[in-house]
Amino acid sequence: MKIKDLKKKINSFFYLQWLRPENVAWDLHVSIIFQKYFFYYEKKNKDFKCLEIGVGNGFNTLLNLNGQLNKKYDFFLNASYKNFFQNKDIYDSPLKKNFIPKDLVKTYPSKKFDLALDLKKNLLKVAKHLKISEELITHDCNKEFSINKKYDFIYSSIIYWLNNPKDSILRISKLLKNNGVFMFTIPNENYLKYCQSYSKSGNFWNLINRGRKDTLQTTIVQNEFEKWLKKNNFEIINNHKLLSEKTLKIWDFGLRPISPYLIRLTNLVSPKIRHEIKKNWCHDLYPIVENLVYHELEFGGGDGGYCIYLIKRKN
C-alpha cells in the first residue's frame, strides 16, 4: 500500500476511534488483510455473494468496504458511559433522538454485503443507515441459521465470542457455495501471554479487563487447530498473524479506564466545539498512532497474538 493511501486509512480509523486510539492499529491491520481477499474474490466472480456474521454497528465494515464516514461522527456519539464498570457494552445503546443525520456517511461503499447478521438490535439500527449490506438480520449466531442461500465469501470477527467456536465454524461453513471461502479472526496462544489482564489474577487486573475475558470462549494453539481444520475437510488457503506484543499490551490498557468520562465530557459540548476538539486531538496525536500502526504492520505478522484464517471446504 502506498504511504499516501496508508496515511489516509490511518486517519479514517483514528477519526472513528479517536477516544480509543489504541484500537486503530488492530482495526486497520484487520482491514488491510480483509480487503486483500474480499476484493480479489469479488473481482474474480461476477455473481459474487457475501455474508458478514457479527457486523455490529457497521462502522468498521463501512471502512473495510472502502466507504467513508463523515469525520464529525464516530463510535462515541451514541455510546453510553453509564454502567461502564458493570461491564455493559457501551455501544449497545438505544439510538439517541435525531442521532442519524443526513450527512453521517461521506462515501457509501460501491460493493456491499448481501446479508449481515448481529445479535444486538441497537447496533443494527445504526448499521442500516450505512448501506453496507442489502439485508440486515438480528440473529443469535450460537443457533442454527435459517438461511437458504449460499455464499462465495463469508467473514466473521466473532467466532471466539460464540459458545462453541469449532461447532460454529462447521455450521457457518455449510453456508458456503462450492469453492466459497470463509475468513475469520481468532486469538492464538500468544494472546493471553501479551494481554496481562486476561492471564493475571487480582482485583487490579479484573478492573482493567472489565469482563472481556468472560466473552473469550477460546484461544487456539495453531498447530492443533490447523490439524482440526484438515481433519474436518477444510483447506487452509492462507493464515495471517497480526497484533504484535506491543500492540496488544497497549490495547489491553489504553484509554479504556477513562473512556466513559471522555465520552461524557465530549458529548456535553456543542457539535461545533466537539468537532474542533476532535480535529486538534487527531492532528496532535496522529504521530503516536501512526508509529503504532507502522510497528504493528512490521511486527504483527511475526509473533502476533491473533490469526486471520481463510479456509474453504474440500470438494
Would the pTM count as exceeding 0.85? yes
Sole residue written with cell 496462544:
189
Domain count, the chain: 1
Ramachandran region, residue 131 (left: φ > 0; alpha: ψ -120 to 50; beta: rest): left
**CATH number, domain containing residue 95:** 3.40.50.150
Given a contact cutoff of 8 angstroms between Cβ atoms, the answer to whether 136 and 55 are in contact is: yes
Q: Which domain holds residue 278?
A: 3-313
Q: Whole-angstrom Cα distance, residue 253 to residue 246?
A: 11
Helix (H) / strand (E) element for 29: namely helix 24-44
**The predicted structure's pLDDT at residue 71:** 95
Cβ–Cβ under 8 Å, residues 223 and 282: no
Within 13 Å of residue 60, how many CA atoms lie on the same side as its CB?
22
The pLDDT of residue 162: 94
Predicted local distance difference test score (pLDDT) of residue 40 = 97
pLDDT in tens, the chain (315 residues): 789 999 999 999 999 999 999 999 999 999 999 999 999 999 999 899 999 999 999 999 999 999 999 999 999 998 888 878 788 888 888 887 767 888 999 999 999 999 999 999 999 999 999 999 999 999 999 999 989 899 999 999 999 999 999 999 999 999 999 999 999 999 999 999 999 999 999 999 998 998 899 889 999 999 999 999 999 999 999 999 999 999 999 999 999 999 999 999 999 999 999 999 999 999 999 999 999 999 999 999 999 999 999 999 987
Q: Which residue's entry shows cell 442521532? A: 99
**pLDDT at 98 (0 to 100):** 67
Residues 6+ apart with CB under 8 A from 209: 197, 198
> End-to-end distance of the chain based on CA atoms, in angstroms?
34
Q: Residue 60 CA to chain centroid, in angstroms?
A: 6
